[in-house]
């Protein structure tokens, strides 16, 4: 039972994990992106159509990344180049994503593809308890593990990662040090959006291989909240995404097994945890250990530098 | 005993008299004003024919509830005097919807369909201010002079699909992915379970609530959780076809809902209770056009072909098909009613006595599970 539950947790958490990782890259460079929900939909549709038209799941994933990379560049253009309001631009991106996928997705409704299949990793998948859940999954899930590590490595162990973090913390100082603020921010937004798109593609290629309008059903907004929950760190994003996925999976399975715990209490748990984590992280914030990038949400203009 | 009917007659007479009087008074007071307005409205209706507007709760591309309504809309448009109709998708339920409904009213529509329960109060509200427009609200219970309601006896084909499930299950565990614990859904689960039990009293129906009409990921996970506890036939009351895919992936059977969704589960699909809104929409457009429409609460069943069972897949054996077709004919002719007693609830208490049929009022407010359902209704 524990193995089944953990397996369902990973599968339910993965689309949220990709979206949260993408959002973290955005926000680490100082750009708030509320367009995650729209980007997930664009990724889901691009991934599905790419796979349907080419017959290859790999092409679908690449299509999802490219489509959201382009959609993300709209947000980047407005917020980085034109220094527009990040909140408004992000919300507009979400509405744009919902509308544009509904329009172009009409012909894809009702079509079917063969989705991602499980690939067991020899040896590791035999591990007790965690083997089945973590090492008998599809390729996109393995990619998400890799991405969690890569983002951490990139941000803390490479010069480019240092650049991304510094344009997010203090763009003026980064500019003085010779980092191009607009280049770093632009790429962080577009590449981050691309990973969000892969999260969307996970929905239409792995969890439910089909295209339906609005199929992300609010997961993008959970990702926006999870960025804060995770304290802008990729390993903690993994924890947060699996926590959310796990509680959904758990309450459904408790019902199927016929337990007497009220479904309402179980459904309350994810939000209860959000409040709990916010309380803890705010408490730490008061002690001076702020995790939020200092320059988050502020447009940078060299001329306005003080 | 003899006085009772007399008293009732008196009360009824009074009740009819009072609003009647007040209406007459109103007419007399403003007798000059409404007459030209009425004739103008009639002229408009004759000139333009029927211009219908639809408010949808989901996207047309949901392959489910809204898709079925939109098929009905297109069927209605075949009528020569029906103008190209307008539809607005994904309108949030509640007070906000009044603005959207009013928008349709202002743009010269003379027949407006609001196709979800949550539009009820908004529909009544807008209708008050637009007396010359006919409003039809789906699945509600409030009416007015120019507002009627309509819904289908989906429990009839649900009962039949239960017979199929009861015959097809080998492990005697059937899974039901359900959205919200409201009477409409509970009625469907009960009818389905009664169908199952009529052919297979050992089988039980496990219910998992998703608390959402539309979230493919959660629906899929709920279906998987039922398969994990041994269910070998699934069905659902959701708007997305995710349950179908879950069954297909794990080699179980599945019964769809809303519209024929067999393309999502070519091997697992058995049949599906589906909506045929077209026949009703066509009739309503005719009535409004001919001026014979009057406000009523329409609750059509299989007899009127508003609801039916989709064609069986080849996985359903011929003798099961024959049995279900026979039972379906019995429902259509009125000799079989799914909620005919004796029916026990989960605790074993008789809720509908032998020889009785649950009245429509009880069906519309159903809030208990029948025997054979494994699940809870949180109150």
Out of A203, A219, A256, closest to residue B226 by CB: A256
The pLDDT of residue B33 is above 50: no
Q: Is residue B23 part of a domain?
A: no
| Cβ-based neighbour number of residue A286 at 10 Å | 8
User: What is the ipTM metric for this complex?
Assistant: 0.85
| Cβ-based neighbour number of residue A280 at 10 Å | 11
Residue B213's domain spans which residues?
155-272+310-374
CB contact under 8 A, A213 and B62: yes
pLDDT in the model for residue B326: 96
Q: Is residue B147 part of a domain?
A: yes
In this prediction, residues B118-133 reach a mean pLDDT of 94
**What are the tens digits of pLDDT across the range B142-159?**
899 999 999 999 999 999
pLDDT in the model for residue B196: 96
Does the CB of B218 have a partner CB in chain A at under 8 Å? yes
Q: Is residue B38 part of a domain?
A: no
Residue B35, token pair as written in the block: 């007459």
Strand partners, B350: B344
How many independent structural domains does chain B possess? 2
pLDDT band at B29 (very low <50, low <70, confident <90, very high): very low
A169 Cα to chain B: minimum distance (Å):
36
Residue B340, token pair as written in the block: 């005919």
**What are the tens digits of pLDDT across the range B311-361?**
999 999 999 999 999 999 999 999 999 999 899 999 999 999 998 999 988
Counting residues of chain B whose pLDDT is more than 70, the rounded percentage is 87
CATH architecture under which domain A2-304 falls: Orthogonal Bundle (1.10)
Same domain, B224 and B141: no
Q: Is residue B102 part of a domain?
A: yes
Helix (H, G, I), strand (E, B) or coil at B127: helix
With CA atoms as reference, the chain B residue closest to A205 would be B217
Q: Which residues of B touch A14 (CB under 8 A)?
A: none
Same domain, B353 and B323: yes
The rounded distance, in Å, linking the Cα atoms of A128 and A125 is 8
Planar angle of CA A294, A300, A306, nearest 5 degrees: 85
Same domain, B148 and B173: no
The pLDDT of residue B1 is above 70: no
pLDDT in the model for residue A11: 92
Same domain, B285 and B267: no
The rounded distance, in Å, linking the Cα atoms of A188 and A48 is 25
Place of tokens 């909620």: B339
Q: Which residues of B touch A214 (CB under 8 A)?
A: 58-59, 90, 214
Q: How deeply is B16 buried, as exposed, middle or buried, from its count of CB atoms within 10 A (0-12, 13-18, 19+)? A: exposed
Same domain, B333 and B202: yes
What is the distance, to the nearest Å, from the Cα of residue A233 to the centroid of all Cα atoms in its chain?
Answer: 12
* Angle, in degrees to the nearest 10, between helices A139-157 and A2-28: 40
Evaluate whether B316 touches B109 at the Cβ level (below 8 Å): no
**What are the tens digits of pLDDT across the range B63-106?**
788 989 999 999 999 998 888 999 998 888 888 899 999 999 99
pLDDT band at B39 (very low <50, low <70, confident <90, very high): very low
Does the CB of A11 have a partner CB in chain B at under 8 Å? yes
Same domain, B172 and B283: no
**Between A228 and B26, where is the model more confident?**
A228
Strand partners, B88: B55
Nearest to B243 by CA among B266, B212, B220, B218: B220
Same domain, B122 and B250: no
Does the CB of A45 have a partner CB in chain B at under 8 Å? no
Does the CB of B378 have a partner CB in chain A at under 8 Å? yes
Instruction: Give the A window 198-217 contacts with B, CB below 8 Å.
Output: 203, 207-210, 212-215, 217
Same domain, B107 and B142: yes
Q: Which residues contact B251 (CB under 8 A, 6 or more apart)?
A: B267, B268
Q: Residue B165's domain is classified under what CATH number?
A: 3.40.50.2300
Q: Is residue B36 part of a domain?
A: no
The pLDDT of residue B3 is above 60: no
pLDDT in the model for residue B36: 44
Strands B307-309 and B111-114, how do they pair?
unpaired
pLDDT in the model for residue B278: 93
Distances in whole angstroms, Cα of residue B241 to Cα of each of B66, B104, B254, B363: 13, 31, 10, 27
The pLDDT of residue B379 is above 70: no
What is the distance, to the nearest Å, from the Cα of residue A125 to the centroid of all Cα atoms in its chain?
Answer: 26
Same domain, B291 and B359: no
- The mean of the pLDDT values for chain B is 86
Same domain, B249 and B365: yes
Does the CB of A12 have a partner CB in chain B at under 8 Å? yes
With CA atoms as reference, the chain A residue closest to B207 would be A256
Low-confidence ranges of chain A (pLDDT < 70): 260, 263, 267, 270, 274, 281, 284-290, 305-306
Q: Which residues contact B89 (CB under 8 A, 6 or more apart)?
A: A102, B56, B58, B59, B60, B66
Q: Which residues of A touch B229 (CB under 8 A)?
A: 253, 256-257
Same domain, B159 and B148: no
Same domain, B174 and B148: no
The pLDDT of residue B20 is above 70: no
Q: Which residues contact A7 (CB under 8 A, 6 or more apart)?
A: A132, A133, A136, A137
CB contact under 8 A, A253 and B228: yes
pLDDT band at B26 (very low <50, low <70, confident <90, very high): very low
pLDDT in the model for residue B48: 60
pLDDT in the model for residue A273: 74
pLDDT in the model for residue A158: 95
Out of B89, B209, B241, closest to residue A255 by CB: B209
Residue A267, token pair as written in the block: 């459904």
Counting Cα atoms < 13 Å in the Cβ hemisphere of B109 gives 26
Q: Please tell me whether the overall predicted TM-score, pTM, comes out greater than 0.90 for this model.
A: no
Does the CB of B375 have a partner CB in chain A at under 8 Å? yes
């Amino acid at each position: 039972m524990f193995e089944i539950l953990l397996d369902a947790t990973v599968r339910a958490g993965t689309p949220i994990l990709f979206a949260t990782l993408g959002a973290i890259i955005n926000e680490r460079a100082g750009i708030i992106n509320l367009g995650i929900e729209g980007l997930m939909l664009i990724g889901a549709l691009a991934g599905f159509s790419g796979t349907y038209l080419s017959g290859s799941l790999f092409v679908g994933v690449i299509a999802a990344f490219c489509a959201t990379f382009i959609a993300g560049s709209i947000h980047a253009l407005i917020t980085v180049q034109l220094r527009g309001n990040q909140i408004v631009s992000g919300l507009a991106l979400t509405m744009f994503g919902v509308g544009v996928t509904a329009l172009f997705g009409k012909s894809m409704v009702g079509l079917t593809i063969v989705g991602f299949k499980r690939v067991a990793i020899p040896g590791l998948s035999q591990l007790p308890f965690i083997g089945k859940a973590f090492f008998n999954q599809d390729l996109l899930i393995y990619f998400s593990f890799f991405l969690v590590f890569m983002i951490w490595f990139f941000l803390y162990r490479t010069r480019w990662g240092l650049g991304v973090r510094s344009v997010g913390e203090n763009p003026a100082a980064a500019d003085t040090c010779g980092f191009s603020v607009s280049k770093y921010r632009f790429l962080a937004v577009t590449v981050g959006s691309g990973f969000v798109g892969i999260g969307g593609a996970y929905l239409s290629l792995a969890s439910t291989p089909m295209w339906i309008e609005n199929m992300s059903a609010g997961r993008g907004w959970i990702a926006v909240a999870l960025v804060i929950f995770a304290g802008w760190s990729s390993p903690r994003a993994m924890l947060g995404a699996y926590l959310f996925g796990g509680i959904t999976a758990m309450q459904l399975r408790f019902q199927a097994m016929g337990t007497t715990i009220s479904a309402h209490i179980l459904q309350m748990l994810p939000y209860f945890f959000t409040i709990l984590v916010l309380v803890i992280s705010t408490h730490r914030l008061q002690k001076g250990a702020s995790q939020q990038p200092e320059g988050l949400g502020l447009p940078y203009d060299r001329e306005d530098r003080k | 005993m003899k006085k009772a009917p007399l008293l009732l007659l008196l009360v009824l007479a009074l009740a009819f008299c009072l609003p009647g009087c007040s209406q007459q008074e109103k007419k007399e007071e403003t007798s000059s004003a409404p007459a030209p307005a009425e004739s103008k409205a009639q002229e408009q209706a004759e000139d333009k024919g029927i211009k219908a507007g639809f408010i949808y709760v989901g996207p047309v591309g949901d392959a489910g509830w809204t898709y079925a309504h939109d098929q009905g809309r297109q069927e209605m448009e075949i009528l020569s005097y029906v103008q190209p109709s307008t539809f607005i998708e994904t309108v949030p339920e509640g007070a906000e919807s009044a603005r959207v409904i009013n928008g349709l009213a202002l743009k010269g529509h003379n027949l407006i369909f609001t196709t979800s329960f949550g539009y009820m109060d908004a529909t009544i509200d807008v209708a008050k201010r637009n007396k010359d427009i006919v409003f039809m609200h789906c699945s509600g219970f409030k009416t007015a002079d120019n507002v009627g309601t309509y819904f289908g006896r989906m429990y009839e084909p649900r009962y039949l699909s239960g017979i199929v499930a009861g015959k097809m299950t080998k492990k005697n565990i059937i899974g039901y992915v359900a959205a919200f614990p409201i009477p409409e859904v509970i009625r469907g689960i009960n009818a389905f379970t009664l169908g199952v039990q009529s052919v297979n009293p050992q089988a039980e129906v496990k219910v998992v609530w998703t608390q959402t009409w539309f979230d493919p990921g959660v629906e899929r996970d709920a279906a998987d959780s039922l398969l994990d506890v041994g269910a070998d036939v699934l069905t659902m009351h959701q708007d997305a076809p995710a349950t179908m895919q879950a069954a297909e992936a794990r080699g179980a059977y599945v019964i769809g809902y809303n519209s024929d969704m067999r393309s999502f589960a070519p091997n697992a699909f058995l049949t599906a209770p589906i909506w045929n809104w077209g026949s009703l929409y066509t009739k309503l457009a005719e009535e409004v056009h001919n001026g014979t429409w009057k406000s009523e609460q329409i609750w059509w069943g299989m007899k009127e072909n508003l609801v039916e069972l989709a064609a069986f897949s080849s996985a359903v054996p011929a003798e099961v098909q024959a049995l279900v077709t026979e039972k379906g004919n019995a429902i259509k002719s009125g000799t079989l009613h799914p909620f005919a007693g004796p029916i026990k609830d989960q605790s074993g208490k008789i809720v509908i006595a032998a020889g009785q049929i649950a009245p429509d009022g009880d069906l519309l407010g159903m809030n208990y599970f029948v025997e054979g359902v494994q699940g809870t209704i949180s109150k």
